[in-house]
Chains A and B, each alone.
Chain A
Amino acid sequence: MRTSYSKKHKAGISVLSGLTAALLLLTGCSKSEETVYQIPEDRKLIVYTAHKADVYEPIIKEFEERTGIFVELKAGDTLALFDELQQDAPGTFDVMFGGGIENFEECRDYLEPYKVSEIDQIAEQYRTEGDAYTPFSVLPTVFIYNNKLVYPVAAPRTWEELQTDRWKGKIAFADPTKSGSSYTALCTMLQVSDQDAQKTLEDFTGALDGYLSPSSVAVLEEVNAGTRLVGITTEGMARQKILEGADITVIYPTDGTSAIPDATAIVKGAKHMENAKLFLEFTVSSDVQRLVEEVFFRRTVRNDMEEYAAPEQTKLKTIDYDIHWASQEKEKILNTWETLQGRTDEKVD
């Protein structure tokens, strides 16, 4: 009895499966000829960049169009990206594009040295020991002030002025623990100043009166809008902002300022090594460097491009910025900074 039942069941199941098969036949779609789109691995490049979109977009676009290499881009904060460089597994990305050289100095061990073919055209002072990284553009630290709210004669000229009560609470300055250019500015101030670093930091945090701009871009906006009267930023960003119509003026500190380059480097263990090298060559090519001068209002790292240089170049009094010191003392300085910032925060509260 039981077997006969199960036979019946089997018959039922086979009927069902037949129906299902028929259904599948009915619904199955016929495949026509297919075009397959795929990007071969040897035409890829993964770039992490600390540059702003205005800078990296044209460069990446031109690089792609000239070389046919597809660039995968990740943009972010300088410090966050360098953290990733140290923490990510080797091969996660190929090129670190942008960020002050003190950061590259710090991360030498994670970088693949490469000597670009046009190394002779790169100004000697920007060449790197062992070619661990390649300079990209020079970013002099400058002051800016709001033309409507500050008389030209009253504008600050020296670093020292910014440490006094005169500009207390009126200075736009980005958090050096987040912004690379801001840290460079801080180190420049410390190196220019005659007095003890601790004292300088205390005076400066006092002058900031507990206020920090959320980002380096915000510095420009705050000064332009008048919420702060003066700001510390880089020459390129300031000039670009002026071109966009901002009513601000750039001041080159008379007691000297830093003009240190940012850089580009190949990450050790890069998967797309050949493409990374092509990218480094491209960043120092005369076309890109001309763009750096003419469009980004930065200063080129090449020594053969005087014809494109901005006339303001002459106004710049540079100091011999000690990158190693800035790199070595970074933790100490930022710790002190945070402590002071905390103390002022408490005062404010």
Chain B
Amino acid sequence: MKKWIKKSFHRQLLVCFGVVALLPLLLFGVSLIQTMETKINSDYEKKVTEQAEQIDAGILELFQEFEMVVENINANTRIVEQIGEDDTWSKSKIYLQFYREVTDYREYAQFDLYDKNGKCIYTTAQGSAKRDLPVYWGILKAVEDSKETLVLRRADTNDSKILLYAAGKLMGKDGIPEGYIVISMRAENFEKVLHDKGNAKAKIAIMDPFWRTIYDNGNLQEEQIREELMVGHKLLGVYRAGELLIQPLGDSGLYTALSCPSVFSTEVLNSMYSVLIVMLTISVILCVLVASRLGRNMTRPIERMNTAMRTLQEGDLTVRIVSDREDELGQMSRNFNIMANELEQSVQDKVEKQKELNASHIAMMQAQLNPHFLYNTLDTMKWVAKANHIPEIATMAAGLAKILRTSISKRQFIYLKEELELVNCYVDIQKIRFNDKFSYTVDLQEGLEECVIPKLIIQPIVENSVLHGLKESEEGNILVRITEQEDVLCIEVTDDGCGAPEERMDAINHRRQEQLVGHIGVSNVDTIIRLTYGEEYGIHMESLTSNAENPTDGQRTEEEGEVHGTKVTLRLPVRYGEA
């Protein structure tokens, strides 16, 4: 996955955008919802707790008033004393008293007076028959057994809609019970109590000590409390949204369970989260759009450059990038174009050079006649000349063949003696040509025959002397003197000819090749030596003008009276070894 993302700039952008856009939104959204939930819940907790306290206080107040009623009736001697009386006169008197005692509370309950056998004597109920109660069972039994002034009991389910009994004893003179006061509460009485003393809108359940419902005004499912407790669960009397707030109802033994509104019900939460999800989705879409837009903006030039580079790699040097952007990417495109231009130029140059090279190569190849044919021809000429007793031709043919072989040979270096032989051949040929009008002498210091030198470096100098130095002389001398001076091989070619013009000598001595057009022989030798052995070696050319100026070596070799000539000195290191 990571790799997959990293492979595309586009996808990296998308991930970055996603993190930057979604994470804060998500964190903000979730924290907002959670904070709101907490805040609202705590507000409601306060509200509901207060409400519960208010309701409980209201009900307890009513119970206290009931207790007061019981006490007042007990204190009313007329009632207590005449309860057993059977005459109508007493009865109506008692009823009046009884009615007076309970009149304030009649809308909260029904009040009944029972005699000690459970027979109903007086009731505030309208139009309903008097209902007797067993004294051995239920509420009267509970009152009988209790020391409390007022006993509270859940009514049986079949007891004519009565939900709760509150009852007390009617004590006779000697502390003997004469009867009972039974206060019965129905659903409408509870509604009235809630309306007057609590909160009529509150969803509440009143439960007996065994967690059985006495009254409830909404579908609170408070039965579950008992079920949960019976299976051994513990329940906490704290506010929890969507659940019931359970509180003991004073010391009455009863409990109240108040419905806690679930403001942040699952649906509300879900809808809030769905809004968040919608927002997130929009963000994602925006991210994708912006990322793709921006990504394309960035990646397209890069892709174009990538393609251009690949095209360039494949050899198409004409490729250029068209971009009107001013930013770094535009600069990059322009730089690429410059680079491509230069590359194209350099390749063109190279191609042209190669073409030239190829042309010279072709020319060279064309010039290369089969050397064996030439040798053989020259050999044949030699033998033909010998057979016909023309020794000059034989000599010329043999010499030419030798020079040809050496010059064509692939060997770069030859022994000094070989070079001298070659020069000899050349001189022999030239002597024939020029009717022996010059002499050629070699003065070789002993032991230098085996020296290794680049081939054909003496011959061009000698040729130069023959062709240029001696061209106007009737009689000429060429001396080749080879010595070793401190590991430097000195090859001096001295002629006594007309000498060379100053400028040419100067050009040679200062290596100005451009001034030597047509006289490249000497210059080439200089180049060969220098390239082979380094700059300190090379050629030196000087004119021999007078005795005073002549070096002693030169003076000895030159004819007396000759005042001019040329001396060319080659300096190169002494080397031995394989040629």
Contacts and interface: CB of A to CB of B under 8 A. Distances in A.
Given A70-B210, A72-B230, A37 B34 contact: no
Contacts of A286: 136
A27 B230 contact: no
Contact of A62 (B138, B157, B232): B138
Give the bracket for the number of chain A residues in contact with chain B: 20 to 34
A23 B31 CA distance: 6
Given A39-B230, A58-B156, A64-B210, A290 B136 contact: yes
Contacts of B237: 34-37
Contact of A38 (B30, B154, B234, B247): B234
A329 interface: no
Given A35-B248, A38-B235, A57-B156, A26 B31 contact: yes
Given A23-B30, A37-B246, A58-B156, A287 B141 contact: yes
A27 B238 contact: no
A34 B238 contact: yes
Contacts, number: 83
A61 B154 contact: yes
A58 B157 CA distance: 9
Given A23-B30, A44-B230, A72-B230, A37 B235 contact: yes
Nearest to B139: A65
Contacts of B30: 23
B229 interface: yes
A119 B233 CA distance: 38
Contacts of A44: 230
Contacts of A72: 230
A64 B138 CA distance: 11
Contacts of A348: none
B156 A23 contact: no
A19 interface: yes
A291 B247 CA distance: 35
Nearest to A37: B235
A68 B134 CA distance: 21
B38 interface: yes
B76 interface: no
A315 to B, nearest CB: 26
A58 B212 CA distance: 13
A309 B262 CA distance: 56
A125 interface: no
A294 B154 contact: no
B156 to A, nearest CB: 6
Contacts of A70: 210-211, 226, 229-230
A88 B226 CA distance: 24
A19 B27 contact: yes
B137 interface: yes
A291 B137 CA distance: 8
Contact of B137 (A38, A54, A287): A287
A154 interface: no
Given A37-B237, A39-B230, A58-B156, A29 B138 contact: no
B34 A36 contact: no
Interface in A32-64: 32, 34-39, 41, 44, 54, 57-58, 61-62, 64
B439 interface: no
Nearest to A290: B136
A41 B229 CA distance: 10
A35 B236 contact: yes
Nearest to B237: A35
Interface in B240-287: 246-248
Contacts of B42: 29
Contacts of A332: none
A180 to B, nearest CB: 24
Contacts of A291: 134, 136-137
Nearest to A5: B2
Contacts of A19: 27
A27 B38 contact: yes
Given A26-B34, A27-B37, A290-B136, A37 B154 contact: no
B153 interface: yes
A37 B225 CA distance: 10
Contacts of A23: 27, 30-31, 34
Q: Which 5 A-B pairs have the closest CB atoms?
A: A35-B237, A27-B34, A37-B235, A39-B229, A38-B234
19 contacts: A23-B27, A26-B31, A26-B34, A27-B31, A27-B34, A27-B35, A35-B237, A36-B237, A37-B235, A38-B229, A38-B234, A39-B232, A41-B232, A61-B156, A61-B212, A62-B138, A65-B209, A65-B210, A291-B134
Interface of A: 19, 23, 26-27, 29, 31-32, 34-39, 41, 44, 54, 57-58, 61-62, 64-65, 68, 70, 72, 286-287, 290-291, 294-295
Given A31-B238, A37-B234, A37-B236, 8 more contacts: A37-B235, A38-B235, A58-B156, A61-B156, A62-B138, A70-B230, A287-B137, A295-B134
